[in-house]
Amino acid sequence: MAQWIAANPKIFIVALQNHLWLTGVALSAVLLIALPLGLLLTRQRRFANAAMAIVNILRTVPSLALLVIMLPLLGTGFLPSVVALTLYGLPALLLNTYTGLTEVDADIVDAARGQGFSDAQVMTRIEIPLALPVIFAGIRTAAVQIVSAATLAAFIGGGGLGELITAGMANFNFPQLIAGAVAVALLALTVEIGFAGIERLMTRQLRMGAS
């Protein structure tokens, strides 16, 4: 594996850069959609059940199936891969955002309102800070899911480290295949450890602030 990377550094670096770009754009889209939508659903509870039902359906659809569904809709390439990965990572963050906000102690919220806090102040000063560890756990889960699933984007021309795996399988080039597979595994592990560390640090700071 190391020998193949040393012999083909440009190919590996381009594949890694494409993988990071693909996952970065998809995760950014998930954040831009899930966080505001989760906040909105806590204020519009009548739509929450329907939204959660749709999200739970998305959770049951395999990542490869989402990518294949994009073919007749958007064709091949970067855009359909990003859309599919966004849909794949969306449930984890949306569910955690909604759950974290709705599970904030109602007595704390009522006390804040009794002190004259507006709805916006209750959300920004009470609900979001208390729900942040749960929300961030959703971000971590979504990030790892997207990094892993982005490997399959190679099947619809999305690029990334998955191209090393598919090319290695097609050409019986096992060092190339292993290089791609190990790189994806290490990238997913790095994302998991990195986000978990930030989550622990954030939770510790919140507890220190509360005390």
- Taking CA atoms, 169 is separated from 81, 142, 173, in Å, by 21, 28, 6
pLDDT level of residue 141 (50, 70, 90 thresholds): very high
pLDDT digit string (tens) for 62-118? Answer: 888 888 888 888 888 889 999 999 999 999 999 999 988 888 877 887 787 888 777
Residue 199: its pLDDT value, please?
Answer: 77
Domains in the chain, please, with CATH? 2-210 (1.10.3720.10)
Q: Is-contact 161 122, C-beta < 8 A?
A: no
Average pLDDT, the chain: 85
Q: For the chain, give the number of residues.
A: 211
Give 121: exposed, middle or buried? Use CB within 10 Å, 0-12, 13-18, 19+.
Answer: middle
Helices 128-149 & 9-43, crossing angle to 10 degrees? 140
150 pLDDT above the threshold of 80 = yes
Q: Is the pLDDT of residue 18 over 90?
A: yes
201 compared with 19, residue with greater pLDDT: 19
In the structure encoding, which two tokens stand for residue 131, read together? 């729900």
Angstrom distance (rounded) from CA 65 to CA 145: 15
pLDDT of amino acid 206: 63
Cβ count within 10 A of residue 6: 9
- Can you list the pairs that 14-21 forms with residues at least 24 positions away whose Cβ atoms lie under 8 Å? 15/159, 15/160, 15/161, 15/163, 15/164, 15/180, 15/183, 16/161, 16/183, 16/187, 18/159, 18/160, 18/163, 19/147, 19/150, 19/151, 19/159, 19/160, 19/161, 19/162, 19/184, 19/187, 20/187
Given this model, what pLDDT does residue 85 score?
93
What pTM was computed for the model?
Answer: 0.87
User: Contact, 99 vs 149, CB < 8 A?
Assistant: no
pLDDT band at residue 27 under the 50/70/90 scheme: very high
More confident residue, 5 or 15: 15
User: How far is the C-alpha of 53 from the C-alpha of 51, rounded, in Å?
Assistant: 5
